[in-house]
């Protein structure tokens, strides 16, 4: 779906800068210090580092007035693809800034214009099916000794897809093990692919590698079908959004649940009991991919732009058939809050930028590979916000967020903790 | 006809180095990819045939203080560099120029320096947006007019640099009249303070003790960067009777706002324009309302502001034809009161006015009420009505006058607009015009907004034709002078209106030359000609 297909939408960007801030009505509940919502613009200042700016960059490249340069690559890739801009823009406009930025990246990849740091990452993905440049043979190590069904040799209704981060980041293994144990002990027919699990393809796609997404999508969907899988459960928000949103974008519907949805159900049904006090004051970080980026595409347009044909009525630009807009409202926001509220002794305080206008953790869009200092800065800004509301710990449900936050709080002398929601549930279960 | 990109002009190296020394390397750029994002703004397509201006700026610089702004302007004088500053950046007047210029992006100057509750004044820097200022003010029982430019518009730009009318002006006063003392970097780089700050007496008054140059600083319609850079303004605030914080629930795009105690929104339809005008006049005279104005784009406003997409708006138009028709001659009234008892009294006065003027209160759904409340409080929704239909808009009648004269102007121009609307080239419905009384209603602001498709050359052409025809008609029929330079690039309106109005354009050119001896301010939206 070439960038050119979005030309008329691009030409209707009015440069209002709404994409840089928390939506203006929601701003009523946000402290003024935290009104920016675009880390890229906050860090790099100039308008080019915003959704509006990148829309203009797309246009100028498209009509040949702008040529590639190292600075163009910086502008395109110093963006976390967190999608907060998209939410703010669509409060008032029928535009698609996120789709445009994504297609701009696809074009850059096609044109061979990428940060050099991407090359080993993508080569690693192609060779070892993961985004951490680790040997594929080590993929299932996190689950050793769990005595769980191994797919595809065995069949299971539910597959627990750990994802690249939980599979290879040893510091996060215990979270994945706890999550799988909880599901298994709840009597679910669950299995894992272990060493045969493959990347979801989502992170590569958000770096512009559309071909990798399609390749892994076809592979994963086929593998799950062969193993009799009906539902995919994952502790990784990136994988979750990929299965739910990106795969649906390319015509594949997958029954997927994030572990927080599963936990909420188990708590609600009384299958697991949260009885032990966890006396902590925590805040919840909405991962972009669990929240606004996880909305499924309600119609599939593989290979085509996410717009239906334009039709003008009374001079007003409409779409025929009407297009279901994705505005971030249908993300997974309440389940984690419900779970945390069920933990005795735990006090949940909200940050200012939450739900569909949450500030990103800094780990998205390939930034961790090419611009690690920007990634770290973004995470530290989030930790500052968490501390500003009096939290002693930040809780989330995405391995990528957790790793970035853990690295960000390493140097804090007065102590600040980072938890996966699974860890707190585990503790509240008295385990 | 779209103009091709002309060859980039660069700043002299010595000048670039001098600017870099002032702000630091992080805050200046002349990279093409950066400059491109400063040559794109709505309205360019009407002037250049496309959103991207056919030339790049010389550079973009982001100062962080008045001292840096002053030093930058002095460098511009030394090297004879044209410049213009802008704040939040949402305006064609902010970025569109006749020639490559240095852009001074004031993004880093975004402090609310103080809000003085007792004296009802505040002091702010240029990049404070109207919405964020509104939320800070209501915490202290105060408010400031939000102009129809919307929530991201700048407090400084709307009060000191540009034309701008808002939904609360019937109670909050006209934006330029709320301007008090000012800090101003002259086109030479000298920093002056006007009004009471000219004698360092505080920020409380525009008239002194000290020099008052408000008429020259901004005049009626603003100089749009033609006279240097405003770095601080003090503004007068109005009382706010609602809660210190709006209770917002739900999610995008139309968040739910709990109805604030002591505020009540009315949407009222009338059988004719004359009934509507009479009601507006009486409401203004009785001083009962925080907001009272004709629904800006009538049925378009109702359908667009209260819906999530153009498709949904069109469905609403089809489904609720009667209501949309009524909306064309409708007003929005937001009553505010110190107490429930006072609100009751104001409601009874409004009821009586509506009885006398045949006003019909239209019941709104919760979603409609929330959307229209946000519209009146922070102008959230003006983009939905003006930009969302096609990506851009222009204004036919644009004036401040008596309420009768304002309404008459819109009637005269309506035929022109309807002709183009019938062909589907612009977005306009019969009865569409925004009439917004100012203060007690002696004055009334009028805008006759029409939308067009910024991605469609035919629509852009039609929009320009409507504008030209409207200006010509207003001049010929002596309907008042087209007063807003925001749509008057490169002296196009000055040359028509000047000879009809005491040759004012020659005077402002002389003033400009006096203040700006090197003519370094890019003044295409003020007067660029040199006499």
Please indicate whether, in this complex, the C-beta atoms of B29 and A46 are within 8 angstroms of each other. yes
Q: What is the signed CA dihedral for B491, B492, B496, B498, rounded to 10 degrees? A: -10
Confidence class of residue B169 from pLDDT cuts 50, 70 and 90?
very high
Q: What CATH number should be reported for the domain whose range is B112-239?
A: 3.30.465.10
* ipTM at complex level: 0.96
Stretch B229-252: mean pLDDT = 96
Please indicate whether, in this complex, the C-beta atoms of B26 and A319 are within 8 angstroms of each other. no
> Which pLDDT score, from 0 to 100, does residue B529 have?
82
And the tokens for B336? 């505010």
Model confidence over B262-295: pLDDT tens digits? 999 999 999 999 999 999 999 999 999 999 999 9
Please indicate whether, in this complex, the C-beta atoms of A14 and B392 are within 8 angstroms of each other. yes
Instruction: Name the average pLDDT for chain B.
Output: 94
Angle value at C-alpha B411, between B408 and B412, nearest 5 degrees: 90
- On chain B, the residues whose CB falls within 8 A of the CB of A327 are 251-253, 308
Q: Would you give the end-to-end CA distance of chain B in angstroms?
A: 30
Please indicate whether, in this complex, the C-beta atoms of A23 and B255 are within 8 angstroms of each other. yes
> Which pLDDT score, from 0 to 100, does residue B487 have?
64
- Judged against a pLDDT cut of 60, whether residue B485 lies above it is answered with no
In B341-410, the DSSP E strands lie at 360-361, 391-401
Which DSSP category does B526 fall into?
Answer: S
Angle value at C-alpha B374, between B134 and A99, nearest 5 degrees: 100
Please indicate whether, in this complex, the C-beta atoms of B89 and A32 are within 8 angstroms of each other. no
The closest CB to that of B424, out of A15, A312, A323, belongs to A312
Model confidence over B32-61: pLDDT tens digits? 999 999 999 999 999 999 999 999 999 999
Please indicate whether, in this complex, the C-beta atoms of B89 and A312 are within 8 angstroms of each other. no
Portion 329-368 of A in contact with B at CB < 8 A:
329, 355-356
Please indicate whether, in this complex, the C-beta atoms of B132 and A25 are within 8 angstroms of each other. no
> Which pLDDT score, from 0 to 100, does residue B299 have?
95
Please indicate whether, in this complex, the C-beta atoms of A329 and B251 are within 8 angstroms of each other. yes
> Which pLDDT score, from 0 to 100, does residue B531 have?
63
Residue A319 neighbours by CB distance under 10 Å = 17
CA–CA separation, A357 vs A44, rounded Å?
20
- On chain A, the residues whose CB falls within 8 A of the CB of B129 are 21
Residue B328 at interface with chain A, using a CB cutoff of 8 Å: no
Model confidence over B336-373: pLDDT tens digits? 999 999 999 999 999 999 999 999 999 999 999 999 99
DSSP β-bridge partners for residue B114? B123
Model confidence over B379-400: pLDDT tens digits? 999 999 999 999 999 999 888 8
List the single best residue of B245, B311, B460 to mutate versus A (max A Cβ within 10 A).
B311
Confidence class of residue A388 from pLDDT cuts 50, 70 and 90?
very high
The H-or-E segment that residue B507 falls in is helix B504-515
Stretch A168-188: mean pLDDT = 97
Confidence class of residue B374 from pLDDT cuts 50, 70 and 90?
very high
Instruction: Name the average pLDDT for chain A.
Output: 96
- Which single residue is written with the structure tokens 């669990």? A290
> Which pLDDT score, from 0 to 100, does residue A299 have?
76
List the single best residue of A6, A9, A13, A15 to mutate versus B (max B Cβ within 10 A).
A15
Please indicate whether, in this complex, the C-beta atoms of B424 and A93 are within 8 angstroms of each other. no
- Judged against a pLDDT cut of 90, whether residue B314 lies above it is answered with yes
Model confidence over B148-168: pLDDT tens digits? 999 999 999 999 998 889 999
Chain A / chain B CB contacts < 8 angstroms: 214
Minimal CA separation from B504 to chain A, in Å: 32
Stretch B404-420: mean pLDDT = 93
The closest CB to that of A45, out of B62, B150, B451, belongs to B62
Please indicate whether, in this complex, the C-beta atoms of A35 and B132 are within 8 angstroms of each other. yes
Nearest-Cα residue of chain B relative to residue A46? B34
Residue A291 at interface with chain B, using a CB cutoff of 8 Å: no
Please indicate whether, in this complex, the C-beta atoms of B33 and A66 are within 8 angstroms of each other. yes
Please indicate whether, in this complex, the C-beta atoms of A35 and B252 are within 8 angstroms of each other. no
Model confidence over A5-30: pLDDT tens digits? 999 999 999 999 999 999 999 999 99
- Judged against a pLDDT cut of 70, whether residue B261 lies above it is answered with yes
Please indicate whether, in this complex, the C-beta atoms of A48 and B381 are within 8 angstroms of each other. no
Nearest-Cα residue of chain B relative to residue A8? B455
- Judged against a pLDDT cut of 60, whether residue B486 lies above it is answered with no
The H-or-E segment that residue B264 falls in is strand B263-269
Q: Could you tell me if residue A182 is left (phi over 0), alpha (psi between -120 and 50 degrees) or otherwise beta?
A: alpha
Stretch A179-203: mean pLDDT = 97
Q: What is the 3-state secondary structure (H, E, C) of B160-225?
A: HHCCCCECCHHHHCCHHHHEEEEEEECCCCCEEEEHHHHHCCCCCCCCCCCCCCHHHHCCCCCCCC
- On chain A, the residues whose CB falls within 8 A of the CB of B388 are 92-94
CA–CA separation, A257 vs A243, rounded Å?
9
Nearest-Cα residue of chain A relative to residue B139? A28
Residue B29 at interface with chain A, using a CB cutoff of 8 Å: yes
Model confidence over B495-521: pLDDT tens digits? 888 888 888 889 999 999 999 999 999
Minimal CA separation from B461 to chain A, in Å: 14
CA–CA separation, A399 vs A169, rounded Å?
9
Of A17-21, A209-213, B341-345, B522-526, the one with minimum mean pLDDT is B522-526
Please indicate whether, in this complex, the C-beta atoms of A11 and B391 are within 8 angstroms of each other. yes
- On chain A, the residues whose CB falls within 8 A of the CB of B390 are 12, 315-317
List the single best residue of B40, B319, B421 to mutate versus A (max A Cβ within 10 A).
B40
- CATH number of B257-486, picked from 3.40.605.10, 3.40.462.10, 3.40.50.720, 3.40.47.10: 3.40.462.10
Which DSSP category does B158 fall into?
Answer: I
Nearest-Cα residue of chain A relative to residue B28? A46
> Which pLDDT score, from 0 to 100, does residue B312 have?
97
The closest CB to that of B308, out of A25, A318, A325, belongs to A325
Please indicate whether, in this complex, the C-beta atoms of A59 and B40 are within 8 angstroms of each other. yes
Confidence class of residue B483 from pLDDT cuts 50, 70 and 90?
low
**Domains of chain A, each with CATH number or no CATH:** 118-263 (3.40.50)
Confidence class of residue B475 from pLDDT cuts 50, 70 and 90?
confident
CA–CA separation, B43 vs A42, rounded Å?
27
The HSE-up count of residue A388 (CA atoms within 13 Å, CB side) is 14
- Judged against a pLDDT cut of 80, whether residue A302 lies above it is answered with no
Give CA separation, A290 vs A197, A295, A355, A400, B298, in Å.
21, 9, 10, 12, 40
Percent of chain A with pLDDT over 90: 94
Residue B253 at interface with chain A, using a CB cutoff of 8 Å: yes
The closest CB to that of A46, out of B37, B52, B311, belongs to B37
Residue A391 at interface with chain B, using a CB cutoff of 8 Å: no
pTM (2 decimals)? 0.97
For chain B, give every domain's residue range.
112-239, 257-486
Residue A395 neighbours by CB distance under 10 Å = 27
Minimal CA separation from B212 to chain A, in Å: 33
Please indicate whether, in this complex, the C-beta atoms of A325 and B455 are within 8 angstroms of each other. no
And the tokens for B233? 């303004």
């Amino acid at each position: 779906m070439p960038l050119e297909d979005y030309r008329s939408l691009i030409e209707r960007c009015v440069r209002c800068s709404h994409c840089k801030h928390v939506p203006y009505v929601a701003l009523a509940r946000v402290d003024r210090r935290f009104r920016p919502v675009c880390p890229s613009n906050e860090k790099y200042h100039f308008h080019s580092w915003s959704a509006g700016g990148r829309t203009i960059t797309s246009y100028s490249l498209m009509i040949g007035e702008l040529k590639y340069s190292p600075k163009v690559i910086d502008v395109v890739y110093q963006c976390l693809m967190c999608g907060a801009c998209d939410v703010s823009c669509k409060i008032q406009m029928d535009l698609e800034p996120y789709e445009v930025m994504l297609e701009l990246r696809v074009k850059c990849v096609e044109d061979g214009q990428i940060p050099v740091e991407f090359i080993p990452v993508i080569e690693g993905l192609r060779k070892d099916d993961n985004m951490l440049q680790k040997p594929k043979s080590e993929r299932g190590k996190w689950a050793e000794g769990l005595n769980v069904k191994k797919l595809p040799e065995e069949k299971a209704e539910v597959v627990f897809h750990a994802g690249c981060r939980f599979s290879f980041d040893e510091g996060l293994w215990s979270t994945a093990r706890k999550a799988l144990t909880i599901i298994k002990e709840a009597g679910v027919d669950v299995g894992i692919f272990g060493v045969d699990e493959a990347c979801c393809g989502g992170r590569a796609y958000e770096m512009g590698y559309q071909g990798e997404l399609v390749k892994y999508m076809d592979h994963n969907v086929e593998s799950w079908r062969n193993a009799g899988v009906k539902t995919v459960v994952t502790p990784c928000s990136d994988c979750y959004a990929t299965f739910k949103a990106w795969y649906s974008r390319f015509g594949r519907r997958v029954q997927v649940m994030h572990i927080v949805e599963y936990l909420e159900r188990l708590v609600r049904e009384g299958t697991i009991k949260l009885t032990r006090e966890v006396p902590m004051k925590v805040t919840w970080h909405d991962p972009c991919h669990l929240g606004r980026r996880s909305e499924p595409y309600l119609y599939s347009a593989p290979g085509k732009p996410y717009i239906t044909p334009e039709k003008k009525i009374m001079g007003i630009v409409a779409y025929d058939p009407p297009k279901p807009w994705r505005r971030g409202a249908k993300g997974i926001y309440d389940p984690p809050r419900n779970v945390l509220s069920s933990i005795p002794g735990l006090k949940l305080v909200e940050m200012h930028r939450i739900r569909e206008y949450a500030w990103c953790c800094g780990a998205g869009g390939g930034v961790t590979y090419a611009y690690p200092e920007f990634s770290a800065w973004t995470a530290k800004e989030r930790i500052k916000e968490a501390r500003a509301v009096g939290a002693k710990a930040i809780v989330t449900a995405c391995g990528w967020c957790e790793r970035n936050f853990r690295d960000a709080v390493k140097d804090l002398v007065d102590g600040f903790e980072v938890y996966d929601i699974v860890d707190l549930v585990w503790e509240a279960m008295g385990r | 006809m779209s103009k091709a990109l002309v060859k980039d002009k660069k700043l002299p190296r010595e000048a670039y180095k001098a600017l870099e020394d002032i702000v630091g390397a992080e805050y200046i750029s002349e990279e093409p990819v950066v400059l491109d994002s400063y040559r794109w703004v709505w309205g360019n397509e009407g002037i250049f045939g496309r959103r991207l201006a056919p030339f790049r700026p010389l550079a973009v610089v982001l100062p962080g203080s008045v001292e840096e702004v002053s030093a930058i302007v002095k460098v511009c004088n030394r090297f004879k560099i044209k410049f213009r500053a802008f704040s939040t950046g949402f305006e064609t007047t902010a970025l569109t120029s006749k020639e490559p210029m240095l852009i001074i992006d004031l993004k880093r100057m975004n402090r609310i320096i103080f809000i003085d509750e007792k004296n009802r004044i505040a002091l702010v820097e240029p990049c404070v947006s109207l919405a964020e200022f509104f939320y800070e003010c209501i915490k202290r029982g105060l408010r400031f007019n939000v102009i129809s430019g919307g929530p991201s518009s700048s407090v400084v730009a709307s009060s000191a640099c540009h034309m701008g009318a808002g939904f609360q002006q019937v109670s909050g006063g006209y934006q330029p009249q709320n301007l008090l003392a000012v800090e101003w970097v002259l086109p030479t780089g000298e920093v002056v303070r006007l009004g009471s700050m000219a004698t360092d007496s505080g920020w409380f008054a525009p008239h002194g003790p000290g020099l008052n140059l408000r008429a020259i600083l901004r005049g009626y319609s603003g100089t749009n960067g033609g006279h240097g850079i405003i770095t601080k303004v003090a503004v007068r605030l109005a009382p706010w009777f609602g809660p210190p914080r709006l209770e917002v629930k739900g999610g995008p795009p139309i968040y739910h706002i709990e109805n604030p105690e002591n505020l009540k929104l009315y949407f009222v339809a009338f059988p004719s324009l004359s009934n509507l005008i009479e009601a507006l006049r009486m409401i203004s005279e009785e001083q009962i309302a925080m907001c009272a104005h004709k629904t800006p784009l009538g049925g378009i406003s109702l359908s667009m502001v209260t819906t999530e997409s153009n498709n949904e708006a069109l469905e609403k138009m089809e489904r609720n034809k009667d209501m949309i028709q009524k909306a064309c001659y409708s007003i929005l009234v937001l009553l505010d009161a110190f107490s429930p008892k006072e609100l009751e009294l104001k409601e009874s006065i409004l009821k009586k006015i509506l009885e006398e003027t045949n006003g019909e209160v239209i019941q709104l759904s919760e979603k409609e009420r929330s959307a229209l409340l946000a519209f009146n409080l922070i102008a959230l929704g003006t983009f939905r009505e003006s930009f969302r239909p096609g990506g851009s808009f222009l204004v036919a009648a644009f004036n401040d006058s008596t309420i009768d004269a304002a309404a008459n102007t819109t009637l005269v121009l309506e035929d022109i607009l309807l002709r183009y609307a019938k062909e589907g080239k612009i977005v306009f419905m019969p009865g569409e015009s925004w009439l917004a009384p100012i203060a007690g209603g002696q004055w009334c602001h009028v805008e006759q907004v029409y939308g067009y498709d910024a991605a469609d050359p035919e629509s852009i052409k039609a929009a320009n034709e409507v504008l030209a025809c409207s200006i010509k008609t207003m001049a010929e029929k002596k309907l008042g002078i087209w007063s807003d330079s925001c749509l008057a690039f490169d002296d196009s309106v000055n040359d028509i209106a000047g000879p009809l109005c005491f040759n004012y354009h020659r005077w402002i050119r002389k003033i400009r030359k006096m203040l700006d001896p090197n003519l370094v301010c890019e003044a295409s939206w003020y007067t660029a000609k040199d006499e």
